[in-house]
Structure 1
Amino acid sequence: MAWAGFIVAFIAFFVTHSLPVRPPLRPILVRALGPRGFGLAYGALSLGALTWLIIAAGQAPFVPLWSWAPWQNGVALILMGLSCIIFSLGLGRPNPFSFGGAQNYLFDPQRPGIVRLTRHPLLTALAVWALAHLIPNGDLAHVILFGVFAGFASFGGLLVDRRKRREMGQGWQMLKDDMGRQAHAVAFMSAPVSDALRIVVAGFVYVGLLWLHPRVIGVNPII
């Protein structure tokens, strides 16, 4: 079956993403590896499965849906830069509204940073990443691949909101209202120096991804 490799990679991706974070497997892995070790191992596993899935999509039968044009790469490069910035600004910082936050008790609704623009910055970064790759890849396999990721990221925030509302009760709405009252520009920043450093890191990550892309995926996004 010509599509078998793509289907197997898709199944493997979702299995490796869902099983390790569900009981009873997650507590066992956390005890064995420690919280930090589990996070690193899960991240490496996720990245490996994603790389496999993208390569499998490139090897699937080519069924064109729209034609490629040079401008598509330019749009993709811009969107990828934006995705890197959003991801860097959102990763591992206080954010009681979503997953991926750290030390959420330190969250300041008067200086929410990227959380004021999107309660789910990691999902937003994923959606922008998927859109960036969907535009220049108009064949069926890649449309399925990146379309699924874009849909998951877009609707995933609604599911997280529902879960967080249930967990936080009235505190969710109160915290959201407090954050919404902050209208001045400085409210978009949580710590100016920290945010600036995160943007610099995003730039290095962006350059690193451009360097790795042709070596890992086999496609040079600049050409």
Structure 2
Amino acid sequence: MLVLILGVALWAGAHLFKRAQPARRAAMGEAGKGLITVLVLLSVALMIVGYRGADFIPLWSSPAFLTHLNNLLMLLAFYLYAASGLKTAITRRIRHPQLTAIKTWAVAHLLVNGDLASVILFGGLLAWAVVSVIVINRAQPVWKKPAPAPVSREIMAAVGAVVVMVAVMLIHNWLGVTPWG
């Protein structure tokens, strides 16, 4: 569990460093981007190793129907993430679509994974995303909405979300986790 906790903490610290220490991060220049990238990749590796190696300590048992809600929320999360890059209509309503996608992803996984390692991983990343939104909104209280986008971007985001969803589900199956229900 310690490796998992270190991974989540490193992820949060690496991502929040720019907001917590803006002068120090600015002083690092371009080299700072490389360091942050290495720290983020290390955090992902620690989270994967820690999660896969953690003992299964059950906290609750999820009813089977939540698998379908999880899948629906995951499709929404993938759409929000794609919409962020394409600046679709929803990005005019949601200020932080990528962080909202992470929060949706985390909640979806907490619904169907009632063990301690899952609470640490998904709950920790949910907490990081919530804190990130708060910190960003305090640092930049004025939000300039993106310009309206053509419908073609909406279609690209929706199709992209479905394609990524299928790919991720197939990877889950390959890893021995059946997300289909």
- The two structures have a TM-score, normalised by structure 2, of 0.77
Say if 2:11 and 2:39, in contact at 8 Å, map to a contact too: no
Quote the residue 1:6 is aligned against.
4
Say if 1:68 and 1:138, in contact at 8 Å, map to a contact too: yes
- Inter-partner Cα distance in structure 2 for 1:207 and 1:26: 39
* Residue 126 in structure 1 maps to residue 102 in structure 2: yes
Say if 2:86 and 2:157, in contact at 8 Å, map to a contact too: no
Q: How does 1:24-173 map to 2 (within 5 A)?
A: 24-28=27-31, 42=37, 46=40, 49-50=43-44, 52-91=46-85, 93=87, 113-165=89-141, 172=142
* Residue 191 in structure 1 maps to residue 150 in structure 2: yes
Give the aligned length. Answer: 175
Larger radius of gyration: 1
* Higher alpha-carbon deviation: 130-139 or 190-199: 190-199
- The two structures have a TM-score, normalised by structure 1, of 0.65
Residue 14 to residue 119, structure 1, CA distance change in 2 (3 Å) = closer
CA shift digits 1:129-177 (9 cap, x unpaired): 0011111111122112211222222332222112113xxxxxx36x56x
CA shift digits 1:3-34 (9 cap, x unpaired): 3332343344445546699344452256xxxx
Say if 2:3 and 2:49, in contact at 8 Å, map to a contact too: no
Alpha-carbon distance, 1:122 to partner: 0.6
Gaps of 5+ in 2: 20-24
Gaps of 5+ in 1: 31-37, 94-111, 166-171, 180-186
- Inter-partner Cα distance in structure 1 for 2:30 and 2:4: 31
Say if 2:82 and 2:160, in contact at 8 Å, map to a contact too: yes
* Residue 221 in structure 1 maps to residue 179 in structure 2: yes
- Inter-partner Cα distance in structure 1 for 2:45 and 2:68: 22
Superposition misfits of 4+ residues, deviation over 6 angstroms: none
Letter of the 2:177 partner, please give it: V
Quote the residue 2:159 is aligned against.
200
- Inter-partner Cα distance in structure 1 for 2:129 and 2:32: 26
